[in-house]
Amino acid sequence: MAMIHETIAILNFGSQYSQLIARRVREQNVYSKIFRPDIPARELSRLNLKGIILSGGPASVYAEGAPHCDEEIFELNIPILGICYGMQLGCQVLGAGIIPAGSREFGRTDLTVFNKSDLFKNLPDSIIAWASHGDQLENPGRDFDILAETKTCPYAAVRHKRINFFGVQFHPEVSHTPKGSTILENFLYGICGCTGDWKMSDFVNETVESIRRKVGSAKVICGLSGGVDSSVTASLVHKAAGDQLVCIFVDNGLLRKNEIDNVVSTFRNHFHMDLHVVDWSRQFLEKLKGVTDPQQKRLIIGAEFIEAFKFEAKKIPNTKFLAQGTLYPDVIESGEKASAGSSSKDLTVGAANIKLHHNVGGLPAQLGFELIEPLRDLFKDEVRVVGEYLGLPEDVVWRHPFPGPGLAVRIIGDITPERLEILRAADEIVIDEIKSAGLYRKISQALAVLVPVSTVGVMGDGRSYESVIAVRAVETADFMTADFSRIPHEVLATIANRIINEVRGVNRVVYDISSKPPATIEWE
């Protein structure tokens, strides 16, 4: 029987940090889940609920149409922590006034702590905090204890005297609040009484058992890409269903060098999975011929992938389920609806269907499959932990993200077999050299881009007029923002030297030093 984990419910009022709050809670071995802001208290009470966190948000609590919560959550006798907007909303519900701040706070600020009995236990009298607010508490009155202040915010942290509510007018979840993890730990363990029962070994065992019960004797198909998400999904399902799992790997002709051999070696030869490799490269390249618009490339590749996948899937009898590597950020960003039994409102304020995160989008309905998404409650770093626990090779677990459209979005302009070979060779050198330098785990994503520009060079005693390769490497915690990697110059020199000497058709290498935003990580 599945264990019912103690849960921290995060009510999302539109904060850009809501997912980060969930991650920070889980890092403390406590399960967290994000809910829409107005989820009824009675639904929350069905959980093994240990605490509630009200997130920040861009609205003002006194503005017309501002997001609200079910006020009955304050009657559940469950500890509540309000962060920024969440603090203001909680204080307003409990009788305090909120006004525009005379001096807004954005960025690092010095927080002076008055009371260290619970939320600020084991902290110094002054800490650095990250603030981002234009409103603040006006006058808490006699019902609140003042726990901390900043120079311009006299009520930067409060505690209600009767209701188990705490509010902070800063963000303890961000790295810019260095002692923020201690504040969250105090809330989780000292105030909520959590025991820390969220462990990946438990997750794996419970998920395997759940898949086994759901699947029965039916076949399960998994679209395998070789990336960590689909690889961990396939491994979980294989552990649960064994030979009932059939993996389909589509060769779109846009893969990295030796990609097919690596996937076959890992999953067919090592894990003994039933792996079908579909060579659809001719169809992909024919449809992409002469296409230079990046969005058009993506649409063509997505449509062809579905055709290739359907072609192979129809050969597999008794198939009832399709396994996908959907992650928790995918669920949130796609405007996924709340869990069964709740209303159809989105998990976030103003959530939009931003993107389809998987190539197999639409296939379940077309083929009549039921979905299995064993990773839909996990973040990327948690997926890697599961992969290690399942015994996946390190180069699979820690592989950098690779886009679904493959090298097509790293070739600017027309896609031809010749240009693909140039990029494959350059890409292999980039990855090889950052691994040799011991930088692969430090860098979040590294890639080579073939630029549709020829430049003059001198090779041997003659003039050359050949292509440019741009190298891109970034470091990021969440891929929402990223900074370029400070790769040592000697490593960059080796990369450039090898590409120019070993890859025919290239006479110049440049390094992309833009951050995200304004630039994206991929070039197309």
Answer yes or no: is pLDDT of 33 > 70.
yes
pLDDT the model gives residue 80: 97
CB-CB contact of 397 with 384 (8 Å): yes
The backbone torsions φ and ψ at residue 326, rounded to the nearest 5 degrees and listed phi first, read -65, 130
- Better-scored residue on pLDDT, 100 or 421: 421
Mean pLDDT of 49-77: 92
Active site residue 173: yes
Q: Where are the beta strands (DSSP E) in 114-141?
A: 126-137
CB-CB contact of 133 with 126 (8 Å): no
- Among 11-25, 247-261, 360-374, 432-446, which is the least confidently predicted range? 360-374
pLDDT the model gives residue 458: 66
Kindly report, residue by residue over 256-315, the tens digit of the pLDDT.
999 999 999 989 988 899 999 999 999 999 999 999 999 999 999 988 988 998 899 989
- Better-scored residue on pLDDT, 200 or 331: 200
Answer yes or no: is pLDDT of 359 > 60.
no
- Token code pair at residue 207: 């998920």
Mean pLDDT of 128-146: 84
Kindly report, residue by residue over 447-465, the tens digit of the pLDDT.
999 999 888 776 665 667 7
- The sign of the dihedral angle between the CA atoms of 252, 256, 258, 259 is negative
Answer yes or no: is pLDDT of 133 > 80.
no
Across 198-202, 223-227, 415-419, the highest mean pLDDT is recorded for 415-419
Active site residue 68: no
Q: Alpha carbon of 430 to those of 226, 449, 507, 524: distances in Å?
A: 19, 11, 16, 19
pLDDT the model gives residue 202: 83
pLDDT the model gives residue 59: 87
pLDDT the model gives residue 444: 93
Answer yes or no: is pLDDT of 377 > 90.
no
Mean pLDDT of 478-492: 89
Answer yes or no: is pLDDT of 34 > 70.
yes
- Token code pair at residue 503: 């890859």
Count Cα atoms within 13 angstroms, Cβ side, for 12.
25
- The sign of the dihedral angle between the CA atoms of 270, 272, 273, 278 is positive
Band of pLDDT at residue 332, cut at 50, 70 and 90: low
Identify the CA nearest to 201 among candidates 43, 29, 347. Answer: 29
Answer yes or no: is pLDDT of 343 > 70.
no
pLDDT the model gives residue 459: 65
Active site residue 84: yes
DSSP run (H or E) holding 463: strand 462-475
- Token code pair at residue 32: 């967290």
SS3 54: strand
Percent pLDDT > 70 in the chain is 90
pLDDT the model gives residue 358: 43
One-letter amino acid identity for 215? V
Mean pLDDT of 434-445: 96
CB-CB contact of 188 with 323 (8 Å): no
CB-CB contact of 334 with 357 (8 Å): yes
pLDDT the model gives residue 354: 29
Answer yes or no: is pLDDT of 47 > 60.
yes
Among the listed residues 6, 69, 91, 173, the single catalytic one is 173
- Among 199-203, 258-262, 468-472, which is the least confidently predicted range? 199-203
Among the listed residues 84, 91, 153, 192, the single catalytic one is 84
Kindly report, residue by residue over 63-74, the tens digit of the pLDDT.
888 999 999 999
Q: Where are the beta strands (DSSP E) in 94-201?
A: 98-113, 126-137, 144-149, 157-160, 165-168
Q: pTM of the entire structure? A: 0.75
Answer yes or no: is pLDDT of 349 > 60.
no
Answer yes or no: is pLDDT of 376 > 90.
no
Q: Tell me the pLDDT of the chain averaged across its residues.
A: 87
Among the listed residues 5, 133, 160, 171, the single catalytic one is 171
pLDDT the model gives residue 283: 96
- Among 3-17, 24-38, 398-412, which is the least confidently predicted range? 3-17
- Among 211-225, 317-331, 342-356, which is the least confidently predicted range? 342-356
Band of pLDDT at residue 517, cut at 50, 70 and 90: confident
